[in-house]
């Protein structure tokens, strides 16, 4: 894998810096398809309309004959994964609001977790009130980032685990963690962190990283992903294309990393490529900008970052980190960042604040109606989210997509 990834990195460097096209996108039904340019430095889309000019559905989008799509608003809502800030009561009005909007997923955070009985009642209410398959996710990593830590106990950090344990031990730990999450009817854990970092433990990534060594980080992160899968819980490795090179906390502000793409391919991208080879269903994109990809846009909003992810062979759900984080929200309001992210290539736009869901959905609808967001791009995202939820994409859209299956 390492040799192949290096070769990929060198080819991509040539493609990006020379402005040549890479065959990463095609219109539905085009088969081998139409190539689209990866954005070059200096060509960053500053508006939704400019982003739309570089957007295209993946070559994996397969048209479904004799199909009538669901209403546009219903489809647009399915690409939203939203939190319920401070909600613990299953009768809270925000639950009715996000169910009425029609979101595709819910993010449970520590503000939603009081007791085992309370969480069970909350998730049961969400499932009952949804008229559709719903992806229930949560932020759960080894160490300090844990939504359920007060109920299931806290663990050592990823860095400590890698220094102390073997990968098979981490797999066993993740299987136990996954069993706990599955007991709360959680489908998706937003982890593991596969960023490379050996800096101060409490920095933005720090001890959340298994290692600064790409091979070691890969081995432990794969073990974590497999352990979750052993318990029936999906993983979402993060934060593509890597956050370890930035010491700036994207929760509060933006940063741009200067690095050669061949160096990135030989280091930070390695753990992501390994996860993709394993068949992981979700990859989360971070809010760090990368100079050779797009110096002006965080990866989560940059078409070139999504193109890079797809060129690594990923066919699952590309999810943004929370769009309410400062690196994005200080510059774009929730509706605009939702449109920019999906237009760029995101299949799931994440926010911790479900109060924003209606405005985000309506912005996506308006963008399609205005021609700023290609309908085929939205439908591709909806198809992937349908697969993630265990639903049939044909219930909503007239395309299907290839979707990864995790290897054993």
The rounded mean pLDDT for the chain is 86
Question: What are the residues whose beta carbons fall under 8 Å from the beta carbon of 191, sequence distance 6 or more?
Answer: 139, 140, 141, 145, 224, 235, 236, 237, 238
Q: How far apart are CA 187 and CA 85, in angstroms?
A: 19
Average pLDDT over every residue of 164-191 = 98
Q: Is the pLDDT of residue 40 over 90?
A: no
Residue 277 vs residues 270, 315, 345: alpha-carbon distances, Å: 11, 11, 20
In a domain, 290, yes or no: yes
In a domain, 172, yes or no: yes
pLDDT tens for each residue of 248-296: 555 656 678 878 889 899 999 999 999 999 999 999 999 999 988 999 9
pLDDT at 35: 26
Q: Which two three-digit tokens encode residue 208?
A: 């959340």
Residue 152 vs residues 88, 176, 178, 192: alpha-carbon distances, Å: 17, 10, 11, 18
Q: Is the pLDDT of residue 398 over 90?
A: yes
For residue 160, report the phi and psi dihedrals to the nearest 5 degrees.
-65, -40
Residue 375 — pLDDT band, cuts 50, 70, 90?
very high
In a domain, 405, yes or no: no
pLDDT at 259: 84
Q: Is the pLDDT of residue 401 over 80?
A: yes
Q: How far apart are CA 380 and CA 371, in angstroms?
A: 16
CATH code for the domain in which residue 91 is found: 3.20.20.300
pLDDT tens for each residue of 355-373: 999 999 999 999 999 999 9
The tally of domains found in the chain comes to 1
Domain span including residue 336 = 2-37+45-62+72-393
Q: How far apart are CA 182 and CA 191, in angstroms?
A: 15
Give catalytic residue positions.
Answer: 251, 321
For residue 149, report the phi and psi dihedrals to the nearest 5 degrees.
-55, -35
In a domain, 115, yes or no: yes
Q: Is the pLDDT of residue 396 over 90?
A: yes
Q: How far apart are CA 347 and CA 327, in angstroms?
A: 20
In a domain, 408, yes or no: no
Residue 88 — pLDDT band, cuts 50, 70, 90?
very high
Q: Is the pLDDT of residue 27 over 50?
A: no
Residue 54 — pLDDT band, cuts 50, 70, 90?
low
Scan for tokens 């990283």, then name that residue.
209
pLDDT at 63: 62
In a domain, 199, yes or no: yes
Residue 206 — pLDDT band, cuts 50, 70, 90?
confident
CA atoms within 13 A on the CB side of 201: 7
Q: How far apart are CA 339 and CA 332, in angstroms?
A: 10
In a domain, 406, yes or no: no
In a domain, 407, yes or no: no
- pTM of the entire structure? 0.85
Residue 111 — pLDDT band, cuts 50, 70, 90?
very high
Residue 235 — pLDDT band, cuts 50, 70, 90?
very high
């Amino acid at each position: 894998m390492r040799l192949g990834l290096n070769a990929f990195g060198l080819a991509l460097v040539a493609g990006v810096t020379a402005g040549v096209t890479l065959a990463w996108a095609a219109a539905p039904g085009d088969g081998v398809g139409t190539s689209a340019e990866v954005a070059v430095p200096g060509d960053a889309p500053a508006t939704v309309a400019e982003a739309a000019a570089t957007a295209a559905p993946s070559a994996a989008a397969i048209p479904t004959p004799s199909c009538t799509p669901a209403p546009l608003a219903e489809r647009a809502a399915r690409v939203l994964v939203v939190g319920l800030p401070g909600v613990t009561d299953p009768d809270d009005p925000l639950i009715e609001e996000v169910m009425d909007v029609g979101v595709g997923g819910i993010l449970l955070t520590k503000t939603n977790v009081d007791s085992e009985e309370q969480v069970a009642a909350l998730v049961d209410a969400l499932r009952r009130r949804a008229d559709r398959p719903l992806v229930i996710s949560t932020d759960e990593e080894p160490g300090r980032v844990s939504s359920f830590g007060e109920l299931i106990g806290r663990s050592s950090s990823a860095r400590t685990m890698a220094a102390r344990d073997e990968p098979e031990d981490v797999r066993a730990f993740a299987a136990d963690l996954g069993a706990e999450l599955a007991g709360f009817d959680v489908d998706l854990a937003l982890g593991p962190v596969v960023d490379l970092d050996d800096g101060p433990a409490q920095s933005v990534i720090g001890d959340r990283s298994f290692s600064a060594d790409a091979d070691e980080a890969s081995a432990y992160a794969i073990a974590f992903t497999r352990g979750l899968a052993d318990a029936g819980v999906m993983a979402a490795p993060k934060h593509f294309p890597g956050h370890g090179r930035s010491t700036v906390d994207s929760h509060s502000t933006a940063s741009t990393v200067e690095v050669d793409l061949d160096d990135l391919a030989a280091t930070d991208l390695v753990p992501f490529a390994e996860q993709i080879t394993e068949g992981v269903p979700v990859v989360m994109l971070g809010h760090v900008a990368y100079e050779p990809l797009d110096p002006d846009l965080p990866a989560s909003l940059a078409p070139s970052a999504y193109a890079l992810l797809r060129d690594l062979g990923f066919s699952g759900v590309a999810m943004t980190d929370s769009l309410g984080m400062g690196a994005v929200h200080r510059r774009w309001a929730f509706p605009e960042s939702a449109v920019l992210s999906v237009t760029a290539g995101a299949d799931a736009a994440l926010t911790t604040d479900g109060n924003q869901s209606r405005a985000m959905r309506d912005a996506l609808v308006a963008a399609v109606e205005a021609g700023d967001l290609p309908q085929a791009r939205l439908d591709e995202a909806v198809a992937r989210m349908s697969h993630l939820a265990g639903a049939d994409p044909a219930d909503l859209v007239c395309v299907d997509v290839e979707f990864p299956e995790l290897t054993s």
